[in-house]
Amino acid sequence: MSLPHPAHARSRARRFAMQALYQRDLSGTELHEIRDQFLEHEDFSSADREYFIELFNQVTQHIVDIDTHIGRFVDLPPGRLDPVERAILRIGTWELMSRIDIPYRVVLNEAVQLAKKFGAEQGHTFVNGVLDKLARELRPIEYRQHGARAGS
């Protein structure tokens, strides 16, 4: 049995984290119960289990800071956002804040792909716009370097 490609495994971890955060928002179930339920009942053979745990734990631990960042670029309070898009934005924001080893363009692309698959009809455009503004703010050097290459 071959191991899944690392990028694919991370994408699956993001998907599970988005679903777990969504479920948490709608059900109010305790965080550890949601995390444990996903770890027990989802097939992690093609997902990065450790990255799922990291995403879920870190996003939930830093939710206030994450929502503050999101709130600067969204007219609605986080609680009024579509719950799928809110979960995706929270994951993307945390990755932009904390995982500088992941290029911001990868963060945006992964979030857009999740929004296209699970969000509202034009949710991916909204997610892309918010995360692009956050990338400009949270990763200014990387953002400028990418912009300089794109304009060359």
Provide the domain limits for residue 97: 6-151
Task: Give me the pLDDT at residue 30, please.
Answer: 86
Q: Would you state the structure tokens that stand for residue 68, as one six-digit string?
A: 């503050």
First and final C-alpha spacing in the chain: 44
Residue 133 in domain: yes
The residues near 59 (Cβ < 8 Å, ≥ 6 apart) are 17, 21, 66, 90, 91, 94
**pTM summary value:** 0.89
Residue 80 in domain: yes
Task: Calculate the CA 86 to chain-centre distance.
Answer: 9
CA-based nearest residue to 89, from 117, 61, 62, 69? 69
- The amino acid that residue 25 corresponds to is D
Task: Give me the pLDDT at residue 5, please.
Answer: 61
Asked whether residue 36 carries a pLDDT value surpassing 90, the answer given is no
CATH of the domain at 59: 1.10.940.10
Residue 73 in domain: yes
Give pLDDT tens digits for 59-118: 999 999 999 999 999 988 877 899 999 999 999 999 999 999 999 999 999 999 999 999
Asked whether residue 29 carries a pLDDT value surpassing 70, the answer given is yes
Alpha-carbon distance of 17 to 33, in angstroms, equals 14
Task: Give me the pLDDT at residue 146, please.
Answer: 77
What length does the chain have? 152
Residue 1 in domain: no
The residues near 18 (Cβ < 8 Å, ≥ 6 apart) are 84, 87, 88, 91, 114, 118
Task: Give me the pLDDT at residue 4, please.
Answer: 53
Residue 125 in domain: yes
Fill in the DSSP letter of residue 4: P
